[in-house]
A = this chain, B = another copy of it.
Amino acid sequence: MLRINKTTDLVAIGRACIDLNANEIHRPMEQTMTFTKYVGGSPANIAIGLARLGMNVGFIGKLANDQMGRFIHQYFVEEGIDTKGIVTDHTGAVTGLAFTEIISPSECSILMYRDNVADLLLNSSEVNEELIAQSKWLLVSGTALAKSPSREAVFVALDYAKKYDTKVVFDLDYRPYTWESDRETAVYYNLVAEKCHLIIGTREEFDMMEALLQESHEDEVTAQKWFDYSADVVIIKHGGKGSIAYSKEGEKVQSGIYETAVLKTFGAGDSYASAFLYQYLQGGSLEDSMKYGSASASIVISKHSCSDAMPTLEELESKIMQGTYIK
């Protein structure tokens, strides 16, 4: 195992896309006439969230050779994200799109454009070895496993992580529309999860992974399965009921939520993950890190975008100080 100077806190691998958020909300999208453009995609959002909080962050991914791709690249540069791991597609692939529809806080939906997207064309030979070598953590987003060659690129990134002693966080981020079947998804999710140190997902995502071998659907059994491989921490999200984090050392921590005026639910998971990681990567306790995650989520779901709404450290700590944490 090679040891090199770890100057980057976390490098994320996966998709960076465009959100087109409805400006006229509280109606079906048929009646929305204008949309605002933001950077989107789970690993991009988490990277932006971490950078906004002051961490050294890098990104590995492929962008379309068009106006949308250049917009994303420029946004990353402005946020201070290391873009040396970003490559540009030259096959005519497009940038993934997510049109959001906000009928009410509880009726949000997304219309996705995921055909021939550049992010899934990242080749295993294009994975920036140096960036992974210099990073303390690698964040893998499950969606990057949906198709070749991006799928193989992730496995090569995991090989580099092992080679350079870079720890891995796996954000399950399962989006059915780009996969052939639940079974295919489960095969690759399990292969990746075996190699990761921190695994975050919803109960439904873990259920999908366990359906392959008809395994148990209990949180403790789920967590223990991954402790038997490489995991130190497993976080299982239960939607409105909050999350539970398990550590290999035997901790079990239930999260709370901060009161807020919800505009939409998009971005809750990504803002949670970024603020949790911010605190946890610096040695924060599970309890404390989950508080950071919840505070960030409560800020983002009250605003129009995901990426643009990611809080600064000042905003986040102000929320933690002044907000009402219900557990």
Q: Is the interface of A mostly helix, strand, loop or mixed?
A: mixed
Do B30 and A67 have beta carbons less than 8 Å apart? yes
Verify if A183 is at the interface (C-beta below 8 Å from B).
Answer: yes
Do A36 and B37 have beta carbons less than 8 Å apart? no
Do A71 and B30 have beta carbons less than 8 Å apart? yes
Do B28 and A32 have beta carbons less than 8 Å apart? no
Do A92 and B177 have beta carbons less than 8 Å apart? yes
Choose the segment among A49-57, A108-116, A278-286, A313-321 that binds chain B (4+ C-beta atoms closer than 8 Å): A108-116
Beyond known contacts A20-B20, A156-B212, A159-B212: 8 more, CB 8 A cutoff: A29-B71, A30-B71, A67-B111, A124-B212, A148-B184, A152-B184, A155-B187, A155-B190
Residues of A near any B CB (own CB < 8 A)? 20, 23, 28-30, 32-37, 66-68, 70-71, 74, 92, 94, 97, 99, 101, 111, 113, 115-116, 123-125, 148-149, 152, 155-156, 159-160, 163, 177, 180, 183-184, 187, 190-191, 212-213
Contact sample, A vs B, 14 pairs, CB 8 Å cutoff:
A29-B67, A30-B67, A34-B34, A34-B36, A67-B101, A68-B111, A94-B115, A97-B113, A115-B115, A125-B183, A152-B183, A155-B191, A156-B212, A159-B190
